[in-house]
Amino acid sequence: MITDREIARNIHIVGGPAISHSADCLVYVIAEYNGQAALIDSGAGPGFPRIQEELVKVGTSSVERLLTTHAHIDHIGAHAIAKKAYNCIITAHETARPILETGDRIRSAADLYGLPLEPCKVDEPLKGKSGQINFGELAIQWLHVPGHTPDSVVFYIDDPEAGRILFAQDAHGPLDPRWGSDRSLFKESLLKLINLDADILCEGHFGIYSTRTKARDYLEEQYDKF
């Protein structure tokens, strides 16, 4: 049975404003897939101990990979903590490296949140426009989708039972020149997401859209808004 925190078999919400901390994005885990677990974003930082508790609840004692959707504080604030806790591989688009590795408070929006940001090394920079990460027997696809920020990426998997699951964290925006936002690129990226025909959309702040129709409608709504 799928609960409000279980998106599909082995895929769960383990962080967010109602779970870990008010400043956190929704944090997802692909849990113990052939003995490995991948975390998608880490939250703002203060709520990470609660995220760790949720990981244990879904049977995850170790995180092998931390996949970064973009370098905003509500998504990366706990990266350095996660690295120390799990010695996980930090994956992010190459354009996010200067933000993560210097702790840039403007580009990360840490200044707006009033939260500290500890610099964190990117172990696996994603280069180019798209690619695949091999995760056990699972292929995690990634797509560069600049617009909200220059470094934004989405991740998606094709699950044999649930279909295509798309992790598109900030598909709603917003846009701000301080982060390098670009409206034209954002709309182009939204079209790419629409054309992925996801069966389930996992958004970073507005939850789960659990059918292809709902996912498409949400993305088209964002496209029309901008």
Res 6: pLDDT? 87
Does residue 205 have a pLDDT over 90? yes
Res 4: pLDDT? 65
| pLDDT-derived band at 2, boundaries 50, 70, 90 | very low
Q: Across all residues in the chain, what is the average pLDDT?
A: 94
Res 137: pLDDT? 82
Full strand arrangement of the beta sheet holding 138-144 = 130-135, 138-144, 153-159, 163-168, 200-203, 208-209
Name the least confident of 34-38, 65-69, 73-77: 34-38
Mean pLDDT of 139-144: 97
| CB distance 25 to 74 below 8 Å | yes
User: What is the percentage of the chain residues whose pLDDT exceeds 70?
Assistant: 98
Does residue 68 have a pLDDT over 90? yes
- Residue 39: which of 47, 50, 27 has the closest Cα? 27
Does residue 35 have a pLDDT over 90? no
| pLDDT-derived band at 1, boundaries 50, 70, 90 | very low
Q: Which residue has the tokens 């789960």?
A: 208
Residues belonging to the chain: 226
Question: What is the second-level CATH architecture of the domain 6-225?
Answer: 4-Layer Sandwich (3.60)
pTM, 2 dp: 0.95
User: What is the percentage of the chain residues whose pLDDT exceeds 90?
Assistant: 89
Question: What are the structural domain ranges in the chain?
Answer: 6-225
Res 102: pLDDT? 98
Does residue 47 have a pLDDT over 50? yes
Q: Which two tokens stand for residue 154?
A: 């989405």
Res 115: pLDDT? 97
Res 136: pLDDT? 83
Between vectors from CA 123 to CA 118 and to CA 124, what angle results, nearest 5°? 130
The backbone torsions φ and ψ at residue 50, rounded to the nearest 5 degrees and listed phi first, read -70, -40
Res 157: pLDDT? 96
Res 36: pLDDT? 82
